[in-house]
Structure 1
């Protein structure tokens, strides 16, 4: 049976991140995409210009409309924008007994622009993280969630995993892409069965817009019926290939998108 997956996130008019990236990822991996928009964002590959968060009640109405009609097998949560939206998303997901929830704690865009109000961090950490099957923080996001300095090493990534798990999610995928001084990028997945490292060589490309959105969406698309370790492994493999052949696209003048449909569009066969 084809999985129905809901993304709850903000938009990206240039198509590389947010709701648009989520829908592309679900579709590329064989899942049916549903969506609920939390914020309308004016951005492109060069950065975020501004955003307007939707009213929490309207976000709740979108979520209710989907769950009351469609069997939802997994949920990906991306940009939340503010505490009011975080609260209603948590409330409606509890109400509908949502399962296979993947939370990407989006706080800052690739360009450095803030996508989460400072007062919303507690609402995200205390309300949404405990609902999640998997959370996927990068190192700066993990530092905010834990209230610590963003001065990571390979050793401190390991020692931080119990503290991240104590926030309440079942699994934590701590992404090491921001760690300096290594030719490889190592992510650590921690959960009930221990710690599983996922290591891959860094790909030299400027086309890294929406990588976090894409990875978390890929996990959500693959999670129904799979062990989280298997889902994360498949998602990592998908993103690695999407990055490796991203130069087959010519989109924008800044951080271009990854190639979400690399397995479906013929030109990627040579990548």
Structure 2
């Protein structure tokens, strides 16, 4: 799991670790960036040295079987290059990309170079990308979610899970677009407003499902149910968005 450190504990690498552990996996966490962040917003982000990450990944790959890879905030384009170099030797490993480019509070977590490299090189290698509504519009160059997803598919993505947690309405709808004739929809009751780290948690839970051998669709279903349960027990950590309780017991 490659992601940034959120000192509030709401998102980023801590969300990944908690979700994967809850769903029966042993995470291998690799930090990509350090942030100045709370439950309200991201104020600063500094990428970790890409050569250090290169050494960490090679060390882990030589020691431990890797069954799936998840990315969150990636820091800079050089870190994408390092990850893709490693994955060349493991074409069978599912890669789930949470394309984190902005915090919910509006703070930037990716510059133009990183976004360009993600779109041109990382997305085509990914089994699934999981953008929220704002990320989908930016990455897919269209305000219409379906058109934006189709643009990403045309550009080389295998599948796009458009997440609906940042929307409105009585239900959250997550929609999986791939090269099938029709997209697949998952609906779950919306609880309250916006929560800190739900996107990270969903993508990490999907990755855990894939690592445990679930199909992509089954992994999405399990992950959505897990996130919904974590949101029902959300924690009031700070002055901003509540944090899903990813430590609740999960019955598999």
| Structures share fold, TM-score greater than 0.5 | yes
> Which residue is equivalent to 1:146?
140
Matched, 1:255 2:249: no
> Which residue is equivalent to 2:177?
190
Structure 2: distance between partners of 1:186 and 1:20: 25
Matched, 1:177 2:165: yes
Q: TM-score, normalised by structure 2?
A: 0.92
Residue 98 of structure 1 deviates from its aligned partner by 5.7
Structure 1: distance between partners of 2:138 and 2:75: 15
Structure 2: distance between partners of 1:135 and 1:211: 15
Q: TM-score, normalised by structure 1?
A: 0.86
Instruction: Give the conservation status (yes or no) of the 8 Å contact 2:153–2:179.
Output: no
Matched, 1:51 2:39: no
Map 1:198-209 to 2 at 5 A.
198-205=186-193, 208-209=195-196
> Which residue is equivalent to 2:10?
16
> Which residue is equivalent to 1:135?
129
Q: 2:29 aligns with which of 31, 35, 52?
A: 35
C-alpha RMSD of matched pairs (Å): 1.7
Segment drifting more, 194-203 vs 10-19: 194-203
Residue 162 of structure 1 deviates from its aligned partner by 2.6
Structure 1: distance between partners of 2:5 and 2:162: 24
Structure 2: distance between partners of 1:263 and 1:166: 40
Number of equivalences: 248
3-state secondary structure, aligned to 2:28: strand
Map 1:212-223 to 2 at 5 A.
212-223=199-210
Instruction: Give the conservation status (yes or no) of the 8 Å contact 1:67–1:96.
Output: no
Structure 2: distance between partners of 1:178 and 1:46: 15
3-state secondary structure, aligned to 2:192: coil
Instruction: Give the conservation status (yes or no) of the 8 Å contact 1:74–1:98.
Output: no
Q: Deviations over 1:36-83 (max 9, x none)?
A: 111111212122231210111112111111111100001101111222
Residue 192 of structure 1 deviates from its aligned partner by 4.7
3-state secondary structure, aligned to 2:103: coil
Give the gaps of 5 or more residues in structure 1.
1-6, 265-271
Matched, 1:86 2:73: no
Give the gaps of 5 or more residues in structure 2.
none
Instruction: Give the conservation status (yes or no) of the 8 Å contact 1:8–1:37.
Output: yes
Structure 1: distance between partners of 2:5 and 2:228: 23
Residue 202 of structure 1 deviates from its aligned partner by 1.4
Q: 2:231 aligns with which of 232, 243, 266?
A: 243
> Which residue is equivalent to 1:117?
111
